Amino acid sequence: MMRILSGVQPTGSFHLGNYLGAIKNWVKMQDQGECLFLIVDLHSLTTHPQASELKASVRSVAAAYMASGIDPEKSFIFPQSAVMQHTELAWILGCGTPLGWLNRMTQFKEKAGKQKDMANLGLYAYPVLQAADILLYQATHVPVGEDQKQHLELARDIAGAFNRNYEEEYFVLPEPVIPPESARIMSLRDGTSKMSKSDPSDYSRINLSDDDETIRLKIRKAKTDPEPIGDTVESMEARPEAINLLSIYSALSEMTLKDTIEKYKGASFSTLKSDLAELTISVISPIRSRMIQLLENPEKIDQVLARGGAHARKLAETHMTHVYELIGIEKV
Protein backbone atom coordinates (compact mmCIF):
# COMPACT_ATOMS: atom_id res chain seq x y z
CA MET A 1 0.00 0.00 0.00
CA MET A 2 1.17 3.49 -0.83
CA ARG A 3 1.52 5.55 2.38
CA ILE A 4 2.19 9.27 1.90
CA LEU A 5 3.59 11.45 4.68
CA SER A 6 4.66 15.06 4.95
CA GLY A 7 4.39 18.00 7.33
CA VAL A 8 4.90 21.69 8.03
CA GLN A 9 6.14 23.54 11.12
CA PRO A 10 3.58 25.56 13.11
CA THR A 11 5.68 28.71 13.24
CA GLY A 12 5.08 32.06 11.59
CA SER A 13 2.43 32.75 8.97
CA PHE A 14 1.29 30.06 6.55
CA HIS A 15 2.13 31.49 3.14
CA LEU A 16 1.83 31.03 -0.60
CA GLY A 17 5.11 29.12 -0.75
CA ASN A 18 3.74 26.53 1.72
CA TYR A 19 0.58 26.21 -0.35
CA LEU A 20 2.18 25.95 -3.81
CA GLY A 21 5.30 24.07 -2.72
CA ALA A 22 3.50 21.52 -0.57
CA ILE A 23 -0.22 21.60 0.24
CA LYS A 24 -1.53 21.95 -3.31
CA ASN A 25 0.35 18.80 -4.26
CA TRP A 26 -0.79 16.93 -1.13
CA VAL A 27 -4.41 17.59 -2.07
CA LYS A 28 -3.86 15.85 -5.41
CA MET A 29 -2.31 12.81 -3.70
CA GLN A 30 -5.17 12.07 -1.30
CA ASP A 31 -6.72 9.42 -3.56
CA GLN A 32 -3.40 7.69 -4.28
CA GLY A 33 -2.93 6.02 -0.89
CA GLU A 34 -3.15 6.52 2.86
CA CYS A 35 -2.07 10.08 3.69
CA LEU A 36 -0.58 11.25 6.99
CA PHE A 37 -0.07 15.01 7.24
CA LEU A 38 1.84 16.10 10.32
CA ILE A 39 2.11 19.44 12.05
CA VAL A 40 5.70 19.15 13.22
CA ASP A 41 5.53 21.03 16.51
CA LEU A 42 8.51 19.19 18.00
CA HIS A 43 10.69 20.42 15.14
CA SER A 44 9.49 23.96 15.79
CA LEU A 45 11.08 23.90 19.26
CA THR A 46 14.46 24.58 17.63
CA THR A 47 13.27 28.17 17.16
CA HIS A 48 11.95 28.55 20.76
CA PRO A 49 8.33 29.51 20.01
CA GLN A 50 6.30 31.06 22.80
CA ALA A 51 4.33 28.36 24.62
CA SER A 52 1.19 30.49 24.52
CA GLU A 53 1.44 30.75 20.72
CA LEU A 54 2.33 27.17 19.85
CA LYS A 55 -1.08 25.58 20.49
CA ALA A 56 -2.81 28.30 18.49
CA SER A 57 -0.29 27.83 15.69
CA VAL A 58 -0.98 24.09 15.55
CA ARG A 59 -4.69 24.80 15.12
CA SER A 60 -3.94 27.45 12.52
CA VAL A 61 -1.87 25.05 10.42
CA ALA A 62 -4.57 22.38 10.71
CA ALA A 63 -7.11 24.97 9.51
CA ALA A 64 -4.82 25.90 6.61
CA TYR A 65 -4.51 22.24 5.62
CA MET A 66 -8.27 21.74 5.57
CA ALA A 67 -9.04 25.10 3.97
CA SER A 68 -6.59 24.27 1.18
CA GLY A 69 -8.33 21.00 0.39
CA ILE A 70 -6.96 18.34 2.76
CA ASP A 71 -10.05 16.27 3.58
CA PRO A 72 -9.93 14.91 7.17
CA GLU A 73 -12.25 12.09 6.06
CA LYS A 74 -9.63 10.94 3.54
CA SER A 75 -6.40 11.93 5.28
CA PHE A 76 -5.08 11.97 8.83
CA ILE A 77 -3.96 15.32 10.27
CA PHE A 78 -2.20 15.38 13.63
CA PRO A 79 0.54 17.15 15.59
CA GLN A 80 3.85 15.34 15.83
CA SER A 81 3.77 15.64 19.63
CA ALA A 82 0.61 13.49 19.78
CA VAL A 83 2.80 10.46 19.05
CA MET A 84 5.77 10.31 21.40
CA GLN A 85 7.23 7.34 19.53
CA HIS A 86 8.70 9.97 17.18
CA THR A 87 11.23 10.91 19.83
CA GLU A 88 11.79 7.28 20.92
CA LEU A 89 12.65 6.22 17.39
CA ALA A 90 14.76 9.35 16.82
CA TRP A 91 17.05 8.33 19.71
CA ILE A 92 17.37 4.76 18.41
CA LEU A 93 18.11 5.95 14.87
CA GLY A 94 20.48 8.65 16.16
CA CYS A 95 22.58 5.97 17.82
CA GLY A 96 23.24 4.50 14.37
CA THR A 97 23.77 7.76 12.48
CA PRO A 98 27.41 8.80 11.91
CA LEU A 99 28.27 12.42 12.68
CA GLY A 100 29.78 12.70 9.22
CA TRP A 101 26.35 12.25 7.66
CA LEU A 102 24.91 15.09 9.74
CA ASN A 103 27.90 17.33 9.06
CA ARG A 104 27.02 17.24 5.37
CA MET A 105 23.53 18.67 5.88
CA THR A 106 23.47 22.02 4.11
CA GLN A 107 20.36 23.32 5.90
CA PHE A 108 22.16 23.20 9.27
CA LYS A 109 25.07 25.13 7.80
CA GLU A 110 22.72 27.74 6.34
CA LYS A 111 20.62 28.18 9.48
CA ALA A 112 23.49 28.06 11.97
CA GLY A 113 25.67 30.37 9.88
CA LYS A 114 28.89 31.58 11.45
CA GLN A 115 27.54 30.88 14.95
CA LYS A 116 27.26 27.11 14.53
CA ASP A 117 29.01 26.44 17.85
CA MET A 118 26.11 28.24 19.52
CA ALA A 119 23.40 26.41 17.53
CA ASN A 120 21.23 24.06 19.55
CA LEU A 121 21.46 20.28 19.35
CA GLY A 122 17.89 20.10 18.07
CA LEU A 123 18.81 22.05 14.94
CA TYR A 124 21.78 19.75 14.33
CA ALA A 125 19.85 16.53 15.00
CA TYR A 126 16.72 17.76 13.19
CA PRO A 127 17.26 15.40 10.20
CA VAL A 128 17.31 12.34 12.48
CA LEU A 129 13.96 13.28 14.01
CA GLN A 130 12.70 13.91 10.49
CA ALA A 131 13.84 10.42 9.51
CA ALA A 132 11.97 9.04 12.52
CA ASP A 133 8.84 10.93 11.46
CA ILE A 134 8.93 9.12 8.13
CA LEU A 135 10.18 5.67 9.11
CA LEU A 136 7.89 5.34 12.14
CA TYR A 137 4.94 4.89 9.78
CA GLN A 138 6.76 2.97 7.03
CA ALA A 139 5.89 5.84 4.66
CA THR A 140 6.53 4.88 1.04
CA HIS A 141 6.34 8.36 -0.49
CA VAL A 142 7.24 11.77 0.92
CA PRO A 143 6.29 14.95 -0.96
CA VAL A 144 9.15 17.40 -0.38
CA GLY A 145 10.62 20.53 -1.88
CA GLU A 146 14.11 20.56 -3.36
CA ASP A 147 15.47 22.04 -0.12
CA GLN A 148 14.38 18.94 1.84
CA LYS A 149 15.55 16.35 -0.68
CA GLN A 150 18.91 15.96 1.09
CA HIS A 151 17.14 15.20 4.37
CA LEU A 152 15.04 12.52 2.69
CA GLU A 153 18.15 10.96 1.19
CA LEU A 154 19.58 10.88 4.72
CA ALA A 155 16.40 9.18 5.97
CA ARG A 156 16.93 6.48 3.34
CA ASP A 157 20.56 6.08 4.44
CA ILE A 158 19.52 5.83 8.10
CA ALA A 159 16.86 3.22 7.25
CA GLY A 160 19.37 1.21 5.25
CA ALA A 161 21.94 1.34 8.06
CA PHE A 162 19.36 0.14 10.60
CA ASN A 163 18.27 -2.71 8.32
CA ARG A 164 21.89 -3.82 7.85
CA ASN A 165 22.79 -3.52 11.54
CA TYR A 166 19.87 -5.70 12.62
CA GLU A 167 19.92 -7.97 9.57
CA GLU A 168 16.31 -7.44 8.60
CA GLU A 169 14.84 -5.39 5.77
CA TYR A 170 12.37 -3.80 8.15
CA PHE A 171 12.22 -0.13 7.25
CA VAL A 172 10.86 0.86 3.87
CA LEU A 173 13.15 3.20 1.93
CA PRO A 174 10.86 6.19 1.23
CA GLU A 175 10.69 7.76 -2.22
CA PRO A 176 10.71 11.55 -2.66
CA VAL A 177 7.84 13.15 -4.55
CA ILE A 178 9.04 16.48 -5.95
CA PRO A 179 6.69 18.48 -8.20
CA PRO A 180 8.34 19.22 -11.55
CA GLU A 181 7.63 22.97 -11.42
CA SER A 182 7.36 25.53 -8.63
CA ALA A 183 8.75 23.20 -5.97
CA ARG A 184 10.39 26.31 -4.49
CA ILE A 185 8.56 29.61 -4.35
CA MET A 186 11.02 32.40 -3.70
CA SER A 187 10.86 35.62 -1.72
CA LEU A 188 9.14 38.61 -3.32
CA ARG A 189 12.06 40.74 -2.13
CA ASP A 190 14.94 38.43 -3.08
CA GLY A 191 14.55 35.89 -5.85
CA THR A 192 17.55 33.91 -4.61
CA SER A 193 15.97 33.15 -1.20
CA LYS A 194 13.08 30.84 -0.49
CA MET A 195 9.77 32.42 0.58
CA SER A 196 9.95 31.97 4.33
CA LYS A 197 7.92 32.50 7.50
CA SER A 198 11.10 33.66 9.26
CA ASP A 199 11.93 36.49 6.83
CA PRO A 200 11.69 39.74 8.83
CA SER A 201 9.96 41.50 5.93
CA ASP A 202 6.27 40.68 5.61
CA TYR A 203 6.52 42.02 2.05
CA SER A 204 8.66 39.00 1.17
CA ARG A 205 5.67 36.65 1.21
CA ILE A 206 1.95 36.34 0.56
CA ASN A 207 0.31 35.01 3.71
CA LEU A 208 -2.85 32.94 3.34
CA SER A 209 -4.40 35.33 5.87
CA ASP A 210 -3.64 38.47 3.80
CA ASP A 211 -6.66 40.44 2.58
CA ASP A 212 -7.12 41.27 -1.10
CA GLU A 213 -5.66 44.78 -0.93
CA THR A 214 -2.59 43.55 0.95
CA ILE A 215 -2.00 40.92 -1.72
CA ARG A 216 -2.25 43.55 -4.46
CA LEU A 217 0.16 45.84 -2.58
CA LYS A 218 2.74 43.11 -1.95
CA ILE A 219 2.76 41.95 -5.56
CA ARG A 220 2.93 45.53 -6.83
CA LYS A 221 5.95 46.14 -4.60
CA ALA A 222 7.60 42.79 -5.47
CA LYS A 223 11.15 43.25 -6.72
CA THR A 224 11.74 42.86 -10.46
CA ASP A 225 14.20 44.34 -12.94
CA PRO A 226 13.82 47.07 -15.59
CA GLU A 227 13.87 44.78 -18.64
CA PRO A 228 10.68 43.51 -20.30
CA ILE A 229 9.79 39.86 -20.04
CA GLY A 230 11.89 37.67 -22.32
CA ASP A 231 10.63 35.08 -24.78
CA THR A 232 12.24 31.87 -23.46
CA VAL A 233 12.81 30.13 -20.12
CA GLU A 234 16.56 30.31 -20.78
CA SER A 235 16.45 34.08 -21.25
CA MET A 236 14.80 34.48 -17.84
CA GLU A 237 16.94 32.10 -15.78
CA ALA A 238 19.51 34.78 -14.90
CA ARG A 239 16.75 37.08 -13.62
CA PRO A 240 15.69 35.47 -10.30
CA GLU A 241 13.01 37.96 -9.20
CA ALA A 242 11.46 38.03 -12.66
CA ILE A 243 11.32 34.28 -13.11
CA ASN A 244 9.94 33.90 -9.59
CA LEU A 245 6.83 35.95 -10.44
CA LEU A 246 6.40 33.99 -13.66
CA SER A 247 6.79 30.73 -11.73
CA ILE A 248 4.16 31.77 -9.19
CA TYR A 249 1.76 32.64 -12.01
CA SER A 250 2.47 29.26 -13.62
CA ALA A 251 1.81 27.36 -10.40
CA LEU A 252 -1.42 29.21 -9.62
CA SER A 253 -2.76 28.91 -13.17
CA GLU A 254 -1.41 25.35 -13.65
CA MET A 255 0.31 26.47 -16.84
CA THR A 256 3.84 25.44 -17.69
CA LEU A 257 6.51 28.08 -17.17
CA LYS A 258 7.18 27.96 -20.91
CA ASP A 259 3.54 28.77 -21.70
CA THR A 260 3.43 31.57 -19.14
CA ILE A 261 6.52 33.18 -20.67
CA GLU A 262 4.98 32.80 -24.13
CA LYS A 263 1.87 34.60 -22.85
CA TYR A 264 3.78 37.53 -21.35
CA LYS A 265 6.86 37.82 -23.59
CA GLY A 266 7.70 41.44 -24.32
CA ALA A 267 5.22 42.72 -21.73
CA SER A 268 6.09 45.00 -18.85
CA PHE A 269 6.08 43.66 -15.31
CA SER A 270 3.23 45.98 -14.38
CA THR A 271 0.98 43.92 -16.67
CA LEU A 272 2.16 40.62 -15.18
CA LYS A 273 1.87 41.94 -11.64
CA SER A 274 -1.69 43.15 -12.18
CA ASP A 275 -2.76 39.79 -13.59
CA LEU A 276 -0.82 37.88 -10.94
CA ALA A 277 -2.45 39.83 -8.12
CA GLU A 278 -5.97 39.03 -9.33
CA LEU A 279 -5.07 35.38 -9.95
CA THR A 280 -3.54 35.09 -6.48
CA ILE A 281 -6.63 36.63 -4.89
CA SER A 282 -8.90 34.22 -6.77
CA VAL A 283 -6.99 31.30 -5.23
CA ILE A 284 -6.22 32.68 -1.76
CA SER A 285 -9.53 34.39 -0.99
CA PRO A 286 -11.65 31.21 -0.64
CA ILE A 287 -8.88 29.53 1.38
CA ARG A 288 -8.71 32.55 3.70
CA SER A 289 -12.48 32.57 4.18
CA ARG A 290 -12.53 28.86 4.95
CA MET A 291 -9.67 29.24 7.43
CA ILE A 292 -11.56 31.97 9.27
CA GLN A 293 -14.63 29.74 9.50
CA LEU A 294 -12.61 26.80 10.81
CA LEU A 295 -10.73 28.87 13.40
CA GLU A 296 -14.05 30.12 14.74
CA ASN A 297 -14.79 26.50 15.68
CA PRO A 298 -11.61 25.24 17.42
CA GLU A 299 -13.45 22.23 18.86
CA LYS A 300 -13.93 20.85 15.35
CA ILE A 301 -10.23 21.30 14.59
CA ASP A 302 -9.35 19.52 17.83
CA GLN A 303 -11.61 16.62 16.85
CA VAL A 304 -9.78 16.28 13.53
CA LEU A 305 -6.40 16.35 15.30
CA ALA A 306 -7.58 13.78 17.88
CA ARG A 307 -8.78 11.42 15.14
CA GLY A 308 -5.49 11.73 13.27
CA GLY A 309 -3.44 11.30 16.43
CA ALA A 310 -5.33 8.15 17.48
CA HIS A 311 -4.76 6.53 14.10
CA ALA A 312 -1.09 7.54 14.05
CA ARG A 313 -0.48 6.16 17.56
CA LYS A 314 -1.85 2.75 16.54
CA LEU A 315 0.54 2.59 13.60
CA ALA A 316 3.44 3.85 15.72
CA GLU A 317 2.86 1.38 18.54
CA THR A 318 2.80 -1.54 16.13
CA HIS A 319 6.02 -0.54 14.41
CA MET A 320 7.88 0.42 17.60
CA THR A 321 7.03 -2.95 19.17
CA HIS A 322 8.91 -4.65 16.35
CA VAL A 323 11.78 -2.14 16.48
CA TYR A 324 12.31 -2.88 20.19
CA GLU A 325 12.27 -6.61 19.47
CA LEU A 326 14.93 -6.13 16.80
CA ILE A 327 17.26 -4.11 19.02
CA GLY A 328 16.84 -6.42 21.99
CA ILE A 329 14.86 -4.23 24.40
CA GLU A 330 11.81 -5.74 26.08
CA LYS A 331 9.06 -3.26 26.88
CA VAL A 332 7.48 -3.98 30.28
Q: Spot the catalytic one: 149, 194, 223, 300.
A: 194
Please report which confidence band the pLDDT of residue 37 belongs to, taking 50, 70 and 90 as the band edges. Answer: very high
For 230-256, what is the mean pLDDT?
93
Residues 284-303: tens digit of each pLDDT: 999 999 999 999 999 999 99
- How much is the pLDDT for 119? 82
Among 24-33, 140-149, 167-176, 272-281, which is the least confidently predicted range?
Answer: 140-149
Residue 91 has pLDDT above 80, yes or no: yes
- Side chain identity at residue 265, one-letter code: K
Is the Cβ–Cβ distance between 135 and 171 less than 8 Å? yes
Quote the pLDDT of residue 181: 57
- Print burial letters for 68-80: b (CB count within 10 Å at least 16), e (below 16): bbbebeebbbbbb
Q: What pLDDT sits at residue 182?
A: 47
The pLDDT of residue 236: 92
Distance, CA of 227 to CA of 102 (rounded, Å)? 43
In the set 111, 263, 265, 300, the catalytic residue is 111
Is the predicted pLDDT of residue 98 greater than 70, yes or no?
A: yes
Q: How confident is the model over 43-57, as pLDDT tens digits?
A: 999 888 899 899 899
- pLDDT tens profile 201-221: 999 999 999 999 999 999 999
Alpha helices in the chain (DSSP H): 16-18, 24-29, 41-44, 51-67, 85-94, 99-103, 106-112, 121-135, 149-165, 212-221, 233-236, 240-253, 257-264, 269-295, 298-327
DSSP three-state, residue 83: coil
Confirm whether 24 is a catalytic residue: no
To the query of whether residue 194 is one of the catalytic residues in this protein, the response is yes
pLDDT at 141: 96
End-to-end CA distance of the chain: 31
Contact 20, 208 (CB under 8 A): no
pLDDT digits (tens, 9 = 90+) for 115-165: 777 788 998 999 999 999 999 999 999 998 777 888 899 999 999 999 999
- Give the per-residue pLDDT at 207: 94
Q: Of the residues 55, 74, 114, 197, which is catalytic?
A: 197
Is residue 55 flagged as an active site residue?
no
How far is 126 from 154, CA to CA, in rounded Å? 11
CA distances 173 to 140, 157, 160, 169, Å, are: 7, 8, 7, 10
180 pLDDT exceeds 60? yes
pLDDT confidence of residue 78: 98
Q: Whole-prediction pTM value?
A: 0.90
Give the pLDDT mean for 65-72: 96
| Lowest mean pLDDT, pick from 17-26, 66-75, 271-280, 316-325 | 17-26
Strand partners, 15: 207
| pLDDT bracket for residue 82 (50, 70, 90) | very high
